[in-house]
Amino acid sequence: MRDLILLHGALGASSEFNRLTPLLSSHFNVHTFDFSGHGKNNTDKAFSMDLFAQDLNNFITTRKLDKPQVFGYSMGGYVAYKYAINSGDKLGDIMSLGTKLKWDPLTSKVETAKLNPAKIEEKVPKFAAYLDSLHNNWRKNMEQTVLMMTDLGNGAALDIENFAQIKNKCYIGLGDMDEMVTCAETQAVAQAIPNSEYYLLEKSRHPLVQLDVHTLADKIIAHLK
């Protein structure tokens, strides 16, 4: 069986794949890990796509994986594309879902405005409790995520020319009810990457916990097996 790495999203952790992994384990050797500063993987380093791409490289190298397939949810997909630009020969195919691919100052301002730990604890205590169940320090994770998103909006993001350098086969997906990512930005990147396909996941919003994992598993198996 082929190796498959599942990459989690921003504010997320590998434990969020616990419902999905059993549905894939008879088709792939499934691997998960926490990016730096996520889950139980503590770090004092500032969050960046370069840091997370290095996490992915370390994981592949340490386990001596031979061109693993990759599924990246949200930020996880962005990390995979970032890594593939310079190290695509170490990966197999890449599949992403709900990845925010276009960043500018306004986008960063809109997205980071939602990420205030004090307000979340006050207004959405259930979400705060959920984040607390995922991370050793969810407040620090959120604060670092805000800084990273701000950097992306201020010029650290990939542009269309960067995406065009990716040679891996890519499946670039979007939930049809995603409230964070647009169809236009997703299709623009799908058109920029030479060997890519756009797909739509029906009846799906952005949050991973709200996805139908059976439908998602079927898509992953169909594209990456």
Comparing CA positions, the residue from 47, 152, 156 lying closest to residue 110 is 152
pLDDT bracket for residue 100 (50, 70, 90): very high
**Span 52-95, pLDDT tens digits:** 999 999 999 999 999 999 999 999 999 999 999 999 999 999 99
CB-neighbour burial class of residue 6 (10 A; exposed 0-12, middle 13-18, buried 19+): buried
Residue 210 in 3-state DSSP?
helix
Q: Which fold has domain 2-102+157-224?
A: Rossmann fold (3.40.50)
According to the model, what pLDDT value does residue 211 have?
94
Domain limits of the chain?
2-102+157-224
Closest-CA residue to 114 (of 144, 142, 151): 142
What is the full DSSP assignment across 33-81? -PPTTBTTB---SPP-HHHHHHHHHHHHHHTT-SS-EEEEETHHHHHHH
Q: Looking at the whole model, is its pTM more than 0.95?
A: yes
pLDDT, position 185: 97
pLDDT tens for 138-188 read: 999 999 999 999 999 999 999 999 999 999 999 999 999 999 999 999 999
